[in-house]
Chains A and B, each alone.
Chain A
Amino acid sequence: MREAATAAVLAVLAGPARAAEVSPCILDPAALTPREMFLAAAIGAMIACGVTSFLLAERVTERTHAALAALVVLIGGFCLFTLFGLAGREIPVAGSLVLLGLIGLFKLMNLFEIRRKRSLSDK
Chain B
Amino acid sequence: MTINSLYFVNWWTDTLIIGGLSIITWVALLAFHHSDTQPIFWFALVLSLVVNYPHFSATVYRLYQSPDNIRQFPVTAWGLPLILFGAVGASFWQPDVIAPYFLMLFLLWSPYHYSGQTIGLTMVYARRAGFPIGRRERMALSAFVFSAFVCGVIRFQQNGTSGGFTDFYGMSIPAFPLPDWTEAAAQAVMWTGALVFAGSAFVWCLEQKRLMPPIVLLPALTHFVWFVPGASLKSFWIVIPFFHSLQYLLIALVMQLKLRIDVVGGEHSWRRIGAEARRWGMRNILGGILLFIGLPAAFSWLPLPLMTTAGILAAAVNIHHFFVDGVIWKLRDTATSSALMMNIAEFAGPGAVDLARPNVVEA
Contact A95 B74 (CB under 8 A): no
Contact B327 A71 (CB under 8 A): no
Q: How many residues of B contact A (CB 8 A)?
A: 41
Contact A110 B179 (CB under 8 A): no
Query: Which residue of A34, A78, A86 is within 8 Å of B87 (Cβ)?
Result: A78
* A75 contacts the other chain (CB 8 A): yes
Stretch at the interface among A5-13, A24-32, A101-109: A101-109
Instruction: Give chain A's interface residue range (CB within 8 Å of chain B).
Output: 35 or more
Contacts of A96 in B (CB 8 A): 178-179, 182
A38 vs B87: C-alpha distance in the bound complex, in angstroms? 10
* B116 contacts the other chain (CB 8 A): yes
Query: Which residue of A34, A86, A98, A115 is within 8 Å of B174 (Cβ)?
Result: A86
**What is the number of contacts between chain A and chain B, taking CB atoms within 8 Å?**
104
Q: How far is the CB of B143 from chain A (nearest CB, A)?
A: 12
**Chain B 301-334 near chain A by CB (<8 Å), digits 1 or 0:** 0000000000000000000001100110010110
Query: Which residue of B74, B109, B177 is within 8 Å of A60 (Cβ)?
Result: B74
A29 vs B116: C-alpha distance in the bound complex, in angstroms? 44
CB-CB nearest in chain A for B322: A109
Contact A89 B76 (CB under 8 A): no
Q: Would you call the interface of chain A mostly helix, strand, loop, or mixed?
A: helix
* B101 contacts the other chain (CB 8 A): yes
A48 vs B134: C-alpha distance in the bound complex, in angstroms? 41
Q: Would you call the interface of chain B mostly helix, strand, loop, or mixed?
A: helix
* A85 contacts the other chain (CB 8 A): yes
A86 vs B176: C-alpha distance in the bound complex, in angstroms? 7
* A67 contacts the other chain (CB 8 A): yes
Contact B98 A82 (CB under 8 A): yes
Q: Which parts of B160-181 form the interface with A (CB within 8 Å)? A: 164, 174, 176-180
Contact A113 B176 (CB under 8 A): no
Q: Which parts of A40-88 form the interface with B (CB within 8 Å)? A: 41, 45, 49, 52, 60, 64, 67-68, 71, 74-75, 78, 81-82, 85-86, 88
A41 vs B97: C-alpha distance in the bound complex, in angstroms? 14
Contact B112 A103 (CB under 8 A): yes
* B105 contacts the other chain (CB 8 A): yes
Contacts of B180 in A (CB 8 A): 92
Given A41-B86, A89-B177, A96-B182; A34-B73 close (CB under 8 Å): no
Contacts of A20 in B (CB 8 A): none
**Chain B 93-132 near chain A by CB (<8 Å), digits 1 or 0:** 1100110011011001100110010000000000000000
Could you name 24 residue pairs across A and B whose Cβ atoms are closer than 8 Å? A34-B93, A34-B94, A34-B98, A38-B90, A38-B98, A41-B90, A64-B74, A68-B79, A71-B83, A81-B104, A82-B98, A85-B104, A85-B174, A88-B179, A89-B164, A92-B178, A106-B322, A109-B323, A110-B326, A112-B323, A113-B75, A114-B330, A114-B332, A115-B333
- Give residues in A with beta carbon < 8 Å to B: 34-35, 38, 41, 45, 49, 52, 60, 64, 67-68, 71, 74-75, 78, 81-82, 85-86, 88-89, 92-93, 95-96, 98-99, 102-103, 106, 109-115
